[in-house]
Amino acid sequence: MLDIKYIRENLEKVKKGCEMKGVEIDFEKLLDLDEQRRKTLKELQEIRREKNRLSKEIGKKVGEEREGLILEMKKYSEREEKLEEKYEEIEKEFFEILSQIPNLPLEGVPEGKDESQNVVLKVWGKPKKFDFPVKDHLEIGENLDIIDTKRASKTSGSRFGFLKKESALLEIALTNFVLDLLLKEGFEFVIPPVLIRPELFWGMGYLEKGREDFYFIEKDNLILVGTAEQILGPMHANEIFEEKDLPKRYLGFSSCFRREAGSWGKDVRGILRVHQFDKLEMFSFCLPEQSQKEHEFFLGIEEKIMQALKIPYRVIKVCSGDMAFPTAAQYDIEAWIPSQNRYRETHSTSNCTDFQARRLNIRYQDKKTKKLYFVHTVNGTAVAVQRTIIAILENYQNEDGSVKIPKVLQKYLPFKEIKRI
């Protein structure tokens, strides 16, 4: 959430940021409500001061003079009650509009309406040239009996899949590989709950835009997370860090749940776009001056993982209109998918500045001034398991239908190749 004082002092900049993200805000109404709430609050404070003065005077008086002061106090109390009701109404409307303002794009973010205007920053590795017709991941998986979407459709409906035998073991291998790498970088491993309270989900900035993509458990007033990031941030809601403890980095493993609303007819084949998948997610609480460097650090880790797996990829700088509501800057990594002859997203990393911390009231104490300031938050994919398995199956496939295992994963598995028995 943006600070209203910042909005008042930087109105044109805020308007431009909203325009870049394709969000329309009635700023005239917002500022009018802000003026009303400040005026009403000032009146309330004056009434409360006068009531305090009268309270002291009443204690000193007796008889008719005391009764007169009590009557005057009653009039102030009635006026106070009406003003409190008025303030609550103004504050509610003010807060509703303020909550619709997204995080503003940082300087250097490309301006654009959608993913077609994202910018390619880097391409790593050369796609392999196959001398045989390539198969897609589902054909490979079904032939090897390691992916089963037909039975998943029977048990759970469309857009689910069973990972079986070698593919299930491959998930564990990917998890262990990334764990080994990131524990050395000082990340703290967490397996969080996958259900979160709505007010904390709101705090992360995912209720204003895109709420139709999440599963709501209405009876229990809980939401299934779409990524571990959404619950790692609220771990420290209403807490204060010591400056020396920042950056505080977590690596969370969770199943992720997404309705994929509005995507029917897109990528319905296989396990590319499913309602449930597993992911290892990086999350950092850091000092404001650290967040851009931390963002680059996360991107570096993602590249390191992809290079170790030897999967060709490209790095994308995401444009303003393609970024999420709480995001100020974002990079994506897209892996080469041979069957589609194109790159597809496997990783994303975002700098959310102090936007989420303000909503969740997460601060740190400056070691010199002892003042409290909001932290910055950075998130990033370490490995989206199913999508990475897709990339491995397709890039490491052989003509006979078998699949080689990336060398870096072989020590975590009892096999170096997946083949039909």
Same domain? For 139 and 68 the reply is no
Same domain? For 312 and 337 the reply is yes
Q: Which of 66, 211, 273, 344 is catalytic?
A: 273
Identify the helix (H) or strand (E) that includes residue 81.
helix 63-98
Residue 348 falls in the annotated catalytic set? yes
For the purposes of burial, counting CB atoms within 10 Å of the CB of 258, is it exposed (0-12), middle (13-18) or buried (19 or more)?
Answer: buried
Same domain? For 76 and 167 the reply is no
Same domain? For 65 and 133 the reply is no
Is residue 109 a part of any domain in this protein? Answer: no
Is residue 2 a part of any domain in this protein? Answer: no
The count of structural domains within the chain is 2
Q: Which of 159, 249, 359, 387 is catalytic?
A: 387
Rg of the chain over all Cα atoms, to the nearest angstrom: 27
Q: Which of 258, 284, 334, 350 is catalytic?
A: 258
Q: Which of 284, 348, 350, 363 is catalytic?
A: 348
CA dihedral for 23, 28, 29, 32, sign (positive or negative)? positive
Distance between CA 79 and CA 234 in Å, rounded? 39
Residue 9 falls in the annotated catalytic set? no
Same domain? For 196 and 260 the reply is yes
pTM beyond 0.85: yes
Same domain? For 200 and 338 the reply is yes
Same domain? For 43 and 166 the reply is no
Is residue 19 a part of any domain in this protein? Answer: no
* pLDDT string in tens for the chain (421-residue length): 899 999 999 999 999 999 999 999 999 999 999 999 999 999 999 999 888 888 887 877 777 778 888 888 888 898 899 999 999 999 999 999 999 999 999 999 999 999 999 999 999 999 999 999 999 999 999 999 999 999 999 999 999 999 999 999 999 999 999 999 999 999 999 999 999 999 999 999 998 877 889 999 999 999 999 999 999 999 999 999 999 999 999 999 999 999 986 555 667 788 999 999 999 999 999 999 999 999 999 999 999 999 999 999 999 999 999 999 999 999 999 999 999 999 999 999 999 999 999 999 999 999 999 999 999 999 999 999 999 999 999 999 999 999 999 999 999 999 999 998 7
Residue 420 falls in the annotated catalytic set? no
Helical pair 385-395 and 291-309, crossing angle rounded to 10 deg: 40
Same domain? For 148 and 70 the reply is no
Q: What is the CATH number of the domain that holds 213?
A: 3.30.930.10
Same domain? For 119 and 94 the reply is no
129-148: burial string, b at 16+ Cβ within 10 Å, e else = eeeeebbbbbbbbeebebbb
Distance between CA 412 and CA 170 in Å, rounded? 9
Same domain? For 389 and 316 the reply is yes
- Number of neighbouring beta carbons within 10 Å of residue 214: 19
Domain that holds residue 83: 26-98
Same domain? For 58 and 126 the reply is no
Q: Of the candidates 38, 67, 98, which is a domain's last residue?
A: 98
Same domain? For 48 and 129 the reply is no
